[in-house]
Chain A
Amino acid sequence: MVIQILKSPQTQLRRKKLSDTAQTVGRQHHFETAEQQYESATLGMWAFIAQEILFFGGLFGGYCVYRNLYTDAFRAASSLLDIPLGTFNTVVLIGSSLTMALAVRCAQQGRPKAIISWILATLALGSVFLVVKYFEYSHKWHDNLVPGASFEWNHPEFVNVFGGNVKIFFSFYFVMTGMHALHMVIGAFLMFWLIYKVMRGQINEHYYTPVENMGLYWHFVDIVWIFLFPLLYLIG
């Protein structure tokens, strides 16, 4: 279906029109050149990402303080997380960053079919990550490790560890990985919008800012996970 729309006369015509007016494509009237618009948009995206870094930074700061206070409980709780699954998910997410980077590269070359393929690959890898995350969450739920009324701590290996402190670790675990997963879900919805834009012929080698900014967002989400993985899974 995607191919049909890409090949449809309307899309072909639109793309021809776009390449005819190469330098003015997608340019808003308040920018002097397409280059200036591109740089403004990228800079704006980076301002947003800086804000996102500070948002996650607050969570990391809280994590560091409580980990210092309750080191033993954090180690015990962390050892209950599944390292192979976490490693698998890290590889999957880095892979999705690669496919996203390749989507941006194809956008720079103006290859709409290839852009859509790479975005779909990114979506597929992102979904794998979230499905694995779902299984990890449900496993923790069945083990009564989700902070709340059903929380129970009677692990035979760690009888000396106070359950209340373990609860703090899992609060951080669920909030941090949950916020990270939420960012991925939002990213996935934005990717469908991006595919729609590409199908409409609104992206070409002269105007690909939406793809570039989507890439920046996705790579940022990847970076958050790069720090979350060792701090949550690997301290046991």
Chain B
Amino acid sequence: MSDHHILPLKTYFLIFGALIFGTFLTVAVTYVDLGWFNTPLALLIAGTKATLVILYFMHVKYSHKLVGLFAFTGFFFIIILLALTLQDYYTRGWQEPLPVDFLDLGQNLK
């Protein structure tokens, strides 16, 4: 398997530098109050870091497409899990409380 692509050392150190930069960036933005946007931004930075690790350290960029599909599938199903769960929990507070009349309706019918 000597035909496998061996990445130059420079690539590894560049990715390492980017990951360290991302770490300090995510700590730095914590101290800036961006309201609701703080958490999405932290997750965006974390997602970018994870993508760099997957593509270069885990060689997915240079692997068979099927490997990429397997890697993508795991994260894809997590997104389904989180999206469907959170669309429920995060929207529960949006509904107006039911009017009292409506709750009494059953008793009045008796």
Closest to A26 in B: B1
* Pairwise interchain contact A53-B43, C-beta atoms closer than 8 A: no
Q: Is the CB of A223 within 8 A of B50?
A: yes
On chain B, the residues within 8 Å of A42 by CB distance are 63-64, 67
Chain A residues lying within 8 Å of B42, measured Cβ to Cβ, are 230-231, 234
| Nearest A-chain residue to B82, judged by Cβ | A61
Q: Which chain B positions have C-beta within 8 A of A68?
A: 86, 89-90
Contact yes or no, B70 A206, CB < 8 A: no
How many A residues touch B, CB cutoff 8 Å?
Answer: 56
User: Is there a chain B Cβ closer than 8 Å to A102's Cβ?
Assistant: yes
- A84 to B76 CA separation, bound complex (whole angstroms): 32
* Complex CA–CA separation, A68 to B42 (angstroms): 16
A49 to chain B, nearest CB (A): 7
| Interface of chain A, main secondary structure | helix
Q: Given the complex of chains A and B, what is the CA–CA distance between A206 and B6 in angstroms? A: 13
Chain B residues near A101: list those with CB within 8 A.
12, 56-57
Secondary structure of the B side of the interface? helix
- For window 35-57 of A, CB contacts with B under 8 Å fall at 35, 38-39, 42-43, 46-47, 49-54, 57
Interface residues of B in 80-108 (CB under 8 A from A): 81-82, 85-86, 89-90
Q: How far is the CA of A91 from the CA of B17 in the complex (A)?
A: 10
Which residues from A are CB-within-8-Å of B13?
A: 98
Query: How many whole Å from B69's CB to the nearest CB in chain A?
Result: 9
A65 and chain B: residue at smallest CB distance: B89
Instruction: Output the least CB separation between B6 and chain A (Å).
Output: 5
Q: Offer 15 A-B interface pairs, CB within 8 angstroms, sorted by A.
A: A53-B74, A54-B78, A57-B78, A57-B82, A64-B85, A68-B90, A87-B27, A90-B23, A100-B57, A102-B9, A208-B1, A223-B53, A230-B43, A234-B27, A234-B30
Having A91-B23, A98-B13, one finds 16 other A-B pairs with CB under 8 Å, namely A43-B66, A43-B70, A47-B70, A50-B71, A61-B82, A64-B85, A65-B89, A68-B86, A83-B27, A94-B20, A94-B23, A97-B53, A207-B1, A222-B57, A229-B26, A230-B30
